[in-house]
Every structure is written in structure tokens, then in C-alpha cells.
Amino acid sequence: MPRTFSEFAVGDTFEHGTRTVDEPEVREFAERYDPQSIHVDPEAAAASMYGGLIASGWHTAAMTMRLLVEDLLSETAALGAKGVDELRWYAPVRPGDTLRARTEIVETVPETADRGLVHARTTTAVADAADPDDDRVGEDVFSMIGLVMVARE
């Protein structure tokens, strides 16, 4: 039975799985949707302020969405979303990084007899960095507040 609106409360948290980012996917996503040199050209990226190839922020958002769907929305009576608030990219994501996401319910608003709106803050962090000497493990790289419509009982 999918989770309905009344089963969400402010402060509820949900831990999601992990996803490891690989270079071919970084480049393929960027070539298709965000073809900036820091995402598609290793040489140019190495000469940039990032010192190497990084994932597009939109790719990070898409990977986060995948984790959110797999671990929460697929078990929710979700009806779609009205938008996203406070979309932020805090740090670059590099090929080889493993990401982990977490969602916290920050507000619930009854809208109609059939649905409510759940404001869900999802934050993505580096669970494991490509470079073992990298001190970014645990560092947040992305967050957003999704405005998710959820069916009522």
C-alpha cells in the first residue's frame, strides 16, 4: 500500500541508496544536455578551476531524483510535483564519486479533499570520493525542496 499524505510528518527523514558516478555517463549526459568544457573535455577541465572533469549540476539533480524515486516516491501515492524550491549546488561531483541522498519532510499542506502538498528537502552528499585522499566524504553537493503532491486516503 503506497504511503499517503497523512503518513508524512514534519521531521520525518528517509535515507536513500547510493550511486557511483562514472566518467562516460558524466560526458554523455553533458554532451546531450550541458555541453560545457568542464563536463565534456578532460583537457579543458584539467586547466579549469576544478582541476578535472566534473558532472553537470543538472546531472547531479537527475541522479538525486533517481535515488529519490527508487527509495521513496515509488512507495508513495505521489501525483507529481508543483516545482522545486531552493535548488543548490554546493560542490562539484567528480567521476568515481559515490553519492548518497537523504530526504527530510519540512512542511505538509492539505490542499484539497483528494491531495496534500509535501515539501521534502533532499540533500545529496559524497559517500565515497574517487580519490582516497579526498576530504569531501560527507560533504553536501546538492539540495532541493521538492513540492510533491500526494494523494490523501
Parallel, antiparallel or unpaired: strands 13-20 and 98-110: antiparallel
Residue-wise DSSP of 93-111 = --TT-EEEEEEEEEEEEE-
Tell whether the torsion through CA atoms of 131, 20, 34 and 58 is positive or negative. Answer: negative
All structural domains of the chain: 5-21+64-151 (3.10.129.10)
pLDDT along the chain (153 residues), means of 10: 96 96 97 98 98 98 97 96 98 95 98 98 90 82 98 94
pLDDT for the residue numbered 58: 98
Are the C-beta atoms of residues 26 and 55 closer than 8 Å to each other?
yes
* pTM value surpassing 0.75: yes
